Structure 1
Amino acid sequence: MEENESLHLSCFEIISQVGMARSCYVEAVDLACDGSFDEARAKAGEGDAFFTAAHGVHTALVTQAAQGGAVPVDILLVHAEDQLMSGEDFKILSERLIRLAERAGIRA
């Protein structure tokens, strides 16, 4: 497989996995706002699994570069890394919003 094709597949994997993670995090917050905290935490856990998968793909690229392998930087890689960083923001904020909803005593 051509080097750029392999990189692009990795980028699409990151983008896809992070998109799923963000969707789960948003749904988790919605569930918490409805007072469904157990479901919210379960949905956030699903998001964590997607985020971890994306992070694993990114870690493999970073490892490849650290070992002297070529990882050409192009707009797709930049976009994938941007999505990964925003996914981490969603993760952090969803955790805090769920805790805030619990403290506020929101009930179903």
Structure 2
Amino acid sequence: MDVEMTIFTIITHSGDARSSSMEAITHAKEGEFEQAQRCIEEAENKLSMAHKEQTKLIQAEAQGEKHDISLLLIHAQDHLMNAMTIKDMANEFVELYISINA
């Protein structure tokens, strides 16, 4: 397993998910609720991809494949957790804007 490539993949997908989540908030603020929902779905897809990569690392470690904990791995985990939180908050913002505009 190429650990560094897996880590960079987590970072990339997490960053894309964060961007899609922020874009969803912008669309909702402008009353573009269908586009906001599409952005939320894209964020969920990217988070799923990042989580699959994270799972590969976890499974490898559970099977005895040990790796040093690097700053890069910590950075990837940080990106993933922040992207998940921002996606959840974006969901709340979109719902809030929908109810305000109803």
Question: TM-score, normalization: structure 1?
Answer: 0.89
The correspondence of residues 77-92 of structure 1 with structure 2, limited to 5 A, is 77-92=73-88
* Distance (Å, rounded) in 2 between the aligned partners of 1:60 and 1:24: 24
RMSD (Å), alpha carbons: 1.2
**TM-score for both structures, normalised by structure 2:** 0.94
SS in 2 for 1:104: helix
Q: What is the distance in 2 between the residues matched to 1:66 and 1:93?
A: 32
Structure 1 gap ranges (5+): none
Q: Which of 29, 35, 45 is equivalent to 2:31?
A: 35
Identify unmatched segments of 5+ residues in structure 2. Answer: none
Matched, 1:72 2:86: no
Q: Which amino acid aligns with 1:70?
A: K
| Alpha-carbon distance in structure 1 between the residues aligned to 2:96 and 2:72 | 36
Write out the 4+ residue segments of structure 1 that deviate beyond 6 Å after TM superposition. Answer: none
Shift of 1:33: 0.5
SS in 1 for 2:27: helix
Show CA shifts across 1:23-64 (max 9, x none): 100001100011111110011111111111011000110111
Q: Report sequence identity in percent.
A: 29
Paired AA for residue 23 in structure 1: S
How many residues align structurally? 102
